[in-house]
């Protein structure tokens, strides 16, 4: 999916197909966030005014590019995880053995479907320090791009958290649910605080 044109991707999102859905969009938001941090860092390199931040900007470009690539791959991974759950629900359930196998496959699929958005949320969260750095020490002409990047990172995290929670509601493994719920709650709270902190740096309040 990451190789589709913007128009193709938007059309398939708008279609009757349930995938790509909110989980894939969360990953896309994160990828765009990383791209904006990377862009501002690129626009800062080579500028005498920002001589003191050249090494930091080079590091941000490298980190943001790696995060962007991971998140673009998660677009497809999230859709595949959803399909795995749907396939499990279609398994036969005539005999007790079939019912047992079906339930096990559904549980297995749901765990994957909850784990992929956790990766999206965690990866999107990693972009926030990069966004903060380019707001503070990047090219001031692109500060709004950096701020939008922070907002998109928040959207990536919180959208992914929603997709974690909807899958957790159906999972029977209580320890697994407790673990992912704790991580999702932490990411949501920390992301909201971090985005607020970054947006307070805006010169356009």
Could you give the domains of the chain? Answer: 19-199 (1.20.120.680)
- Quick one: how far is CA 59 from the chain centroid? 21
**pLDDT computed for residue 1 by the predictor:** 87
Please check whether residue 74 is in contact with residue 21, taking contact to mean a CB–CB distance below 8 angstroms: no
**pLDDT computed for residue 62 by the predictor:** 98
Closest among 66, 35, 46, 57 to 138, alpha carbons compared: 57
pLDDT tens per residue, range 36-46: 999 999 999 99
Please check whether residue 54 is in contact with residue 166, taking contact to mean a CB–CB distance below 8 angstroms: no
Q: How confident is the model at residue 95 (pLDDT cuts 50, 70, 90)?
A: very high
Over range 161-172, report the average pLDDT.
97
Over range 51-68, report the average pLDDT.
98
Over range 93-114, report the average pLDDT.
97
């Amino acid at each position: 999916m990451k190789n589709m044109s913007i128009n193709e991707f938007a059309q398939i999102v708008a279609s009757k197909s349930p995938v790509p859905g909110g989980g894939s969009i969360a990953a896309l938001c994160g990828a765009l966030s990383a791209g904006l941090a990377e862009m501002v860092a690129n626009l800062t390199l080579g500028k005498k005014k920002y001589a003191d931040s050249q090494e930091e900007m080079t590091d941000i470009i490298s980190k943001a590019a790696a995060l962007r690539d991971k998140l673009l791959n998660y677009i497809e991974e999230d859709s595949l995880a959803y399909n795995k759950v749907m396939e499990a629900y279609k398994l036969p359930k005539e005999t007790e053995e079939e019912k047992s196998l079906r339930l096990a496959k559904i549980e297995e699929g749901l765990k994957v479907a909850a784990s992929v958005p956790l990766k999206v949320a965690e990866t999107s969260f990693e972009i926030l320090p990069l966004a903060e750095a380019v707001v503070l020490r990047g090219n001031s002409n692109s500060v709004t791009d950096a701020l939008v990047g922070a907002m998109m990172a928040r959207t990536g995290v919180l959208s992914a958290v929603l997709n974690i929670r909807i899958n957790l509601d159906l999972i029977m493994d209580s320890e697994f649910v407790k673990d992912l719920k704790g991580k999702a709650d932490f990411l949501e709270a920390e992301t909201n605080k971090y985005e607020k902190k970054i947006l307070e740096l805006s010169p356009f309040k």
